[in-house]
Structure 1
Amino acid sequence: MNENSKQNAGKSLLFFLSICAFFVGLDSLVVAPLIPEMMAATSISTSKGGLLITAYALFYGLFAPLFGPISDRWGRKKMIITGMLVFALGTFLIGISHDFYLMLIFRALTGLSGAMIMPSIFALVGDLFAYERRGRAMGMIMGAMIGSTVIGVPIGAIFTQIGTWQLTFYSIGILALVLTVIMTLKIPGIPPKNQLSGSILKTYLRQFKAAFSTVSVLFALLSTLLWTMGLHGMFSYIGVYYRENFHLVVGEVGIIIFAAGMGSVIGNLIGGKLSDRLGKKFVIIFASILASMGVLSFAVFTNNIIAALISHVFWSFSIGLGQSSLTVLISELNPNVRGTVMSLNSSAMYIGMMTASALSSFLLTFGGFLIIGILCSTSTILVLPIIIFLIKEQVMIKQTKDQTF
């Protein structure tokens, strides 16, 4: 295969991996506008509808570390295809369910599938794409995943408007099944570096021991946790922020979140390209400074809506700018157990999300948005010294025989 053919094949694979990431992100929040109709169909109080989102996130966060070692020893392709099949089935079954508790089970199943898919996709990018092109590739994956959460709410609302809430899940489930068939052809069958052997418990212990044998992995996971806290501490109460300070209604807040989300998508794409040219660490350090300034400014400008909007978009862009570079950096720290490391990274994200949400709830009651802004700003800027002094980047410019693109 010549160089042009390799590049075209790499672009095609990356396109479909991005679509997989898009579906996983979309499914996490698409239920938000559908909750009233879904609860009415099951004769359950609307107040319990949030459990449909919680079930997805909880099972994703809990089970990601369990699937990482399997991905390393079973193979990325098998894990992604199996995860997509479970995803398609679980999503479709939600559409035919008329019992709330069955819906919770199927939402947990789709969260489980997300834990199988995304860490394996991140690891596959690290396995296949050459170091000098890896940042751009990861930027596309992260951009697709974040972009899906931005448009997930309006997509769910539109589908419900033109049909029924079931149509949303039928459509996603069927399209995901078609995508699964395509991915069986697109993903190259690379044999795993570590073949399955011994008991399951010993396998897990070996994989986690190998992952944490690189001290930088611990600090990288801490960086991910802090970075996520820097985003979700304020984002968890973004609707409250705009309602209390500027008396905006839900529709107006939705438009603002969409604009800020697109800023984050653009930030991921640009950050990925810059990291290939300037270095992963440089982009993360630069982004941490910008994001810290952005969220603090956003917390301060509670009396000027124009300044608040500009700060919000700038902050979202800055978070995206560093996210893809941070993900690539982490994927390089221990390539032999890349799947395990990336699954732990996914859990660190969800722990950071839940921690930030809990702290912000407390701080909002006693200190207001300025204190939350200080928390987020501090969390983001703390990533800077960790990246500079505590994480040793494993630079591997030379392409291995498995790195095809």
Structure 2
Amino acid sequence: MKNINDRISSKDILIVLGLFLMVFVTGADSFIISPLLPSMSGYFNTSVSRVAYGVTIYALCYAVGSPFFGPLGDRFAKKRLLMVGTLIFMCGTFLCGFSTTLTSFYLFRAVAGIGASLLLPNIWAFIGSYFSGKRLSMVMGVVMAALSLSIAIGVPLGSSLSQMSNWHMVFWASGLLALLAGMTMVATIPMIPATHLSVSYLGNFVTVKKTKNAIPSLLITLFWMFGFYSIYTFLGTFISNQFNFSTGQIGYVFIAYGLGNFLASFFGGIVNNQIGITRSVRLNGSLSILTIILLSLSGNGLFLLIGFLICLAIFQGLGVSALNTFIVNVVPTNRSTVMSFNSSFLYLGLTAGSFIGGLIYPTYGYLGVCLLAAFGMCLSVGMTFVLKES
């Protein structure tokens, strides 16, 4: 008979729905810009590359803001911070749609990034503090699946909305979805007071630093994302060169990857509960390494390439959801702080992977990038053996 503590109540379902919607909209906010770049560059009368800096500014504000705001989630009720983060993100996104100059667009993208940096770490921290046992793993997987879904449909969604009206509509729709998610969270998430008000702001950082598995766990995220994003960044270019695909055709390949990753993340909690959280990180990390190597050897076999990508999507979905579930419990008293650093390490891995991959790709091609990705994943899996038993 199923333990009552493992059941998800109707109220919990509404909580998860609100969190899912918010994670989806913050994730899609990066991807939906891609198909809008040509029309936006025409509107602002500038180059596509300059408009694309809006993505960089959003990511940079997120990466810098996360550790700065992290300790606030351990000192104040997370619901209040989620509401403030939603308001900031929603305003920034709405205002992007009203931008009349490139400078104002950059400014509003920065506002949206700051809002997201307050939102996401506290979403993961709230899940870790509100849910426990098997429910924690299941809910973490379901909510993380929203990021995968944003990858799968972010680009086509942005294209469709833009074609229906114009690029302004995309940001207004994103802001409305954030408003809906925020209203759902206001109505369902309980106001749980913080229990560590006596700890100083800097004391939260000290606690995380001194906790035995905190730094190794964050390094797992860093190396994992370094490996993943080095291969992901240049995947579209490789497909275009190898198969002479158009941008639209490349998009279908990304949709296949995103949907595979979504399904793996969505059901990841069930699978990871059976495997074990730490074991799942090691197993799926190792299988990712093998798949990346096979991917580099796929040559001109399109269906073989897609098959390996779907496998990689599954292993990544299961592994990352297990990794987040593990990290959120590394420092139970400072979940917001450690998850904010986890977000920053993620973006640091993304930046390093795409940068170093950019140095390797022109000379060694996608094979070199795949070997770089496999090396990063090896470091990540190796760090799991540094973890000490609780």
User: Normalising by the residue count of structure 1, what TM-score does the alignment of the two structures yield?
Assistant: 0.92
Match of 1:400 in 2: none
**CA deviation map 1:122-160 (0-9, x unaligned):** 000000001222111100111012211321111111011
Match of 1:296 in 2: 293
What is the 5 A alignment of 1:82-231? 82-195=84-197, 203-231=200-228
Q: Displacement, 1:60?
A: 0.5
**CA deviation map 1:284-321 (0-9, x unaligned):** 11101111111111111122222111111111221111
Are 1:392 and 2:385 matched, yes or no? no
- Is the Cα–Cα contact under 8 Å of residues 19 and 181 in structure 2 kept in the other structure? no
| Whole-angstrom CA distance in 1 between matches of 2:64 and 2:225 | 17
| Whole-angstrom CA distance in 2 between matches of 1:271 and 1:178 | 26
**CA deviation map 1:83-111 (0-9, x unaligned):** 10111111111111111010001011111
Are 1:379 and 2:376 matched, yes or no? yes
- Is the Cα–Cα contact under 8 Å of residues 227 and 372 in structure 2 kept in the other structure? yes
What is the 5 A alignment of 1:2-401? 7-195=9-197, 203-387=200-384, 389-392=385-388, 394=390
- More displaced stretch, 269-278 vs 222-231: 269-278
**CA deviation map 1:25-45 (0-9, x unaligned):** 111221111112122222222
| Whole-angstrom CA distance in 2 between matches of 1:364 and 1:39 | 27
**CA deviation map 1:220-239 (0-9, x unaligned):** 01100111112111111111
| Whole-angstrom CA distance in 2 between matches of 1:318 and 1:96 | 40
2:77 aligned partner, one-letter code: G
Three-state SS of the structure 2 residue aligned to 1:368 is helix
| Whole-angstrom CA distance in 2 between matches of 1:11 and 1:246 | 43
- Is the Cα–Cα contact under 8 Å of residues 334 and 341 in structure 1 kept in the other structure? yes
| Whole-angstrom CA distance in 2 between matches of 1:392 and 1:75 | 31
| Whole-angstrom CA distance in 2 between matches of 1:333 and 1:3 | 21
**CA deviation map 1:217-267 (0-9, x unaligned):** 111011001111121111111111111111111111100000011111112
Three-state SS of the structure 2 residue aligned to 1:332 is coil
Going from structure 1 to structure 2, the CA distance change for 1:4 and 1:226 (only over 3 Å counts) comes to closer
Name structure 1 gaps, 5 residues minimum.
198-202, 395-405
Query: How many residue pairs are counted as aligned between the two chains?
Result: 387
| Whole-angstrom CA distance in 2 between matches of 1:238 and 1:110 | 27
The ranges of structure 1 where at least 4 consecutive aligned residues each deviate by more than 6 angstroms after the TM superposition are 2-6
Q: CA RMSD in A?
A: 1.7
| Whole-angstrom CA distance in 2 between matches of 1:240 and 1:4 | 44
- Is the Cα–Cα contact under 8 Å of residues 272 and 318 in structure 2 kept in the other structure? no
User: Normalising by the residue count of structure 2, what TM-score does the alignment of the two structures yield?
Assistant: 0.95
Going from structure 1 to structure 2, the CA distance change for 1:50 and 1:196 (only over 3 Å counts) comes to farther
- Is the Cα–Cα contact under 8 Å of residues 99 and 105 in structure 2 kept in the other structure? yes
1:373 aligned partner, one-letter code: C
1:105 aligned partner, one-letter code: L
Q: Displacement, 1:4?
A: 10
Q: Displacement, 1:177?
A: 2.1
| Whole-angstrom CA distance in 1 between matches of 2:132 and 2:185 | 21
- More displaced stretch, 27-36 vs 249-258: 27-36
| Whole-angstrom CA distance in 1 between matches of 2:7 and 2:345 | 37
- Is the Cα–Cα contact under 8 Å of residues 142 and 265 in structure 2 kept in the other structure? yes
- Is the Cα–Cα contact under 8 Å of residues 92 and 170 in structure 1 kept in the other structure? yes
Q: Displacement, 1:15?
A: 1.6
- More displaced stretch, 88-97 vs 364-373: 364-373
- Is the Cα–Cα contact under 8 Å of residues 133 and 276 in structure 1 kept in the other structure? no
Sequence identity percentage: 29
Q: Displacement, 1:325?
A: 0.3
